[in-house]
Amino acid sequence: MRLLVIEDDPDLNRQLATALTDAGYVVDRAFDGEEGHYLGETEPYDAVILDIGLPKMDGISVLESWRRAGRAMPVLILTARDRWSDKVQGFDAGADDYVAKPFHLEEVLARIRALLRRSAGHAKSELICGTVRLDTRTGRVTIDGNPVKLTSHEYRLLSYLMHHAGRVVSRTELVEHLYDQDFDRDSNTIEVFVGRIRKKLGVDIIQTVRGLGYLLTPLDAR
């Protein structure tokens, strides 16, 4: 999953990016409203963490502009303000959730997990596909109850496919959502990682749809 953090405080921006990266996400960063607005308008993020009080362009204006343009990614707003009217303004602008500063990073991580689950139509933190289970809280993958050791790249790819189980996901979409903006998008690493995941899982839940991409379905759904 690929996230965007827009926060002008360098230390807080770094702390958020580090925590999210350690949790298995790919993170792009912006430090003002104009830069963040541009990235959110031109790159396909799975979710955005957006501070309200930004230089150059405030967070509410950024969010309103995205929504007018049809950008529908989940947005978690950060605010140092504790007035209920500011929270209402954020929700009315199109925010999906909010966290008031100061906050614990674990709360932000939990809210991001929830936003990603809901946006993909999942109610529970554990994703299940046949005998494969992925716990989004712990990053643990098991098959028939036995743990499967995946690299960070393999985990991100499997997680994305499991979040979007039942529909064909193109290679281009995977590259856009699993790697940051500086990644070499002409590489063939997606095919390599899919092959490794298939071998480690030992069950054929990832189908290759020729010319279209990959489809993840439970074994008993075929």
CA distance 53 to 47: 19
Does one domain contain both 62 and 109?
A: yes
Per-residue pLDDT tens, the chain, 222 aa: give them.
Answer: 899 999 999 999 999 999 999 998 999 999 999 999 999 999 999 999 999 999 999 999 999 999 999 999 999 999 876 677 778 888 999 999 999 988 999 999 999 999 998 888 887 888 998 889 999 888 899 998 899 999 988 999 999 999 999 899 998 899 888 887 666 655 578 888 999 999 999 888 899 999 899 999 865 444
Domain-ending residue, one of 87, 119, 151: 119
Does one domain contain both 21 and 63?
A: yes
Structure tokens at 219: 């074994």
Give me the CATH number covering residue 131: 1.10.10.10
Does one domain contain both 173 and 109?
A: no
The reported pLDDT for the residue numbered 219 is 52
Are the C-beta atoms of residues 141 and 158 closer than 8 Å to each other?
yes
CA distance 170 to 133: 23
**Triad 108, 12, 163: Cα angle to 5°:** 35
The reported pLDDT for the residue numbered 78 is 92
The reported pLDDT for the residue numbered 183 is 63
195-218 confidence digits (pLDDT tens):
999 999 988 889 999 989 999 986
Does one domain contain both 11 and 89?
A: yes
Does one domain contain both 17 and 105?
A: yes
Residue tagged 């963040």 (tokens): 36
Domain-ending residue, one of 69, 85, 119: 119
pTM over 0.75: yes
Does one domain contain both 114 and 177?
A: no
CB-based contacts of 195, cutoff 8 Å, min separation 6: none
Does one domain contain both 6 and 112?
A: yes
For residue 9, the enclosing domain spans 2-119
The reported pLDDT for the residue numbered 121 is 80
Does one domain contain both 138 and 109?
A: no
Does one domain contain both 44 and 77?
A: yes
Does one domain contain both 107 and 133?
A: no
Does one domain contain both 75 and 177?
A: no
Give me the CATH number covering residue 20: 3.40.50.2300
Secondary structure (3-state) at 122: coil
- Structural domains counted in the chain: 2
Domain-ending residue, one of 119, 152, 167: 119
The reported pLDDT for the residue numbered 221 is 43
Does one domain contain both 62 and 147?
A: no
The reported pLDDT for the residue numbered 45 is 95
Structure tokens at 69: 């343009």
